């Protein structure tokens, strides 16, 4: 079997697989074709890919030869005309935002492995691209905020007097939020945290953060460890409490998400008005509407001295390690897809494979995709 690795389009700097992972992949008996300059923005040259055993060729050639084509983001519509019959595409899909793209691919009878649909179960942890990328985002968001802040993060006791530590407020203690807590604490900040899932309370505490509880949060065991939409009463109480804590904070890192829905609104414009000039808000939920009412995705705003950064693409700013993690996750997924002879087998009985295949042979497969897109 031939596996193809594409160069990303647009501003994306990651590549789905670095040469190191190609070396590992080659050991499983497959051939690899990599689009020319695929790794250039992640500092991996075509020479390194060749040394790892890959063939370097044009984009069209990758589509013409590979039965499995891997990229970070889903391929643009324009590329669909190059796809071979029954070709398998593997990337992050964002099915809700790209429902129309998915429908075109279904009609074309291609198979799509949606990396963002990999079930969040223990056996799939090593393949969990969302967790890897959220780790990068949480880390980078805190460093970005620290570099922009007019204040130190740690407490300083010097001959010039004592400087109080920065206060960092973290909204959402999922993978990105927990990483943000760890980094902000390492830099010496005082950290306060909101989440609607009681299960994260102990994790927040163990990382040195203070968990602020709002009574009456709704949880649903069927949501697979994810948060669910809250009642209006809860939302109001939570927004008020967040306003109090944000007014006392120097930095807010907003990471709260509800899968398949718009991000919860946690920071109202009144809250921003109550914050100190010089404060920084980093909104990682920007691409799904943002946790802050004023957030604009991909933009940096200054609202009465408060900097609001709407940014959901931090992994692209750390392309080397983000690509390394991405590629390792894919290698782990391929371990359950490739047999000893190097052939790709789609065992629909396997819950990881079944959950990850968005469309196959003209049908929607993953239950989650059907739920998210409301397909009966």
Positions in the binding site for ligand NAD (CB under 6 A): 120-122, 124-125, 128, 130-131, 134, 171-177, 194-197, 200, 225-227, 230, 255-259, 264, 266
Hey, which residues are catalytic here? Answer: 120, 125, 128, 131, 226
* Contact in structure between 266 and 217 (CB atoms under 8 Å): no
Q: How far is the CB of 284 from ligand NAD (least distance, A)?
A: 9
Nearer residue to ligand NAD within complex by CB, 151 or 197: 197
Torsion of CA 170, 174, 177, 183, to 10 degrees: 140
Strand partners, 310: 283
Q: How far is the CB of 344 from ligand NAD (least distance, A)?
A: 23
Based on its alpha-carbon atoms, the radius of gyration of the chain, rounded to whole angstroms, reads 22
Nearer residue to ligand NAD within complex by CB, 287 or 307: 287
Token output for 220: 């649903």
Q: How far is the CB of 243 from ligand NAD (least distance, A)?
A: 14
Nearer residue to ligand NAD within complex by CB, 174 or 319: 174
Question: What is the 3 state secondary structure string of 69-113?
Answer: EEEEECCCHHHHHHCCCCCEEEEECCCCCCHHHHHHHHHCCCEEE
* Residue that the structure tokens 């102990």 belong to: 202
* Contact in structure between 196 and 220 (CB atoms under 8 Å): no
Q: How far is the CB of 329 from ligand NAD (least distance, A)?
A: 11
Distance (Å, rounded) from C-alpha 77 to C-alpha 271? 41
**Closest chain position to ligand NAD (CB):** 174
Nearer residue to ligand NAD within complex by CB, 44 or 134: 134
Q: How far is the CB of 197 from ligand NAD (least distance, A)?
A: 4
Nearer residue to ligand NAD within complex by CB, 109 or 237: 237
């Amino acid at each position: 079997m031939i596996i193809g690795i594409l160069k990303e389009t647009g501003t994306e700097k990651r590549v789905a697989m670095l040469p190191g992972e190609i070396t590992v992949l080659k050991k499983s008996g497959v051939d690899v074709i990599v689009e020319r300059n695929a790794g250039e923005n992640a500092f991996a040259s075509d020479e390194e890919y060749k040394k790892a055993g890959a063939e370097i060729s044009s984009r069209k050639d990758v589509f013409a030869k590979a039965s499995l084509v891997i990229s970070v983001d889903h391929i643009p519509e324009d590329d669909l005309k190059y796809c071979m019959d029954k070709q398998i595409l593997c990337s992050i899909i964002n099915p809700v935002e790209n429902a129309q793209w998915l429908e075109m691919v279904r009609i074309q009878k291609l198979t799509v492995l949606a990396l963002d649909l990999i079930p969040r179960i223990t056996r799939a942890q090593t393949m969990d691209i969302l967790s890897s990328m959220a780790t990068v985002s949480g880390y980078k968001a805190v460093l970005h905020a620290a570099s922009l802040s007019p204040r130190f993060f740690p407490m300083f006791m010097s001959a010039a007097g004592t400087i109080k530590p920065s206060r960092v407020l973290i909204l959402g203690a999922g993978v990105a939020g927990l990483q943000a807590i760890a980094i902000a604490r390492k830099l010496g900040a005082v950290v306060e945290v909101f989440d609607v899932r009681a299960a994260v309370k102990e994790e927040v505490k163990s990382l040195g953060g203070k968990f602020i509880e709002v009574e009456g949060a709704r949880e649903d065991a069927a949501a697979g460890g994810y948060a669910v939409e809250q009642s209006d009463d809860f939302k109001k109480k939570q927004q008020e409490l967040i306003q109090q804590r944000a007014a006392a904070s120097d930095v807010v890192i907003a990471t709260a998400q509800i899968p398949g829905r718009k991000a919860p609104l946690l920071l109202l414009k009144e809250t921003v008005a109550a914050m100190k000039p010089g404060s920084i808000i980093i909104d990682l939920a920007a691409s799904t509407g943002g946790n802050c009412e004023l957030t604009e995705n991909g933009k940096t705003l200054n609202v009465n001295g408060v900097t609001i950064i709407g940014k959901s693409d931090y992994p692209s700013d750390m392309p080397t390690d983000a690509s390394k993690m991405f590629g390792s996750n894919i290698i782990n997924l391929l371990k359950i897809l490739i047999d000893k002879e190097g052939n790709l087998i789609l065992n629909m009985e396997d819950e990881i494979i079944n959950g990850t295949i968005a469309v196959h042979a003209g049908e929607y497969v993953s239950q989650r995709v059907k739920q998210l897109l409301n397909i009966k």
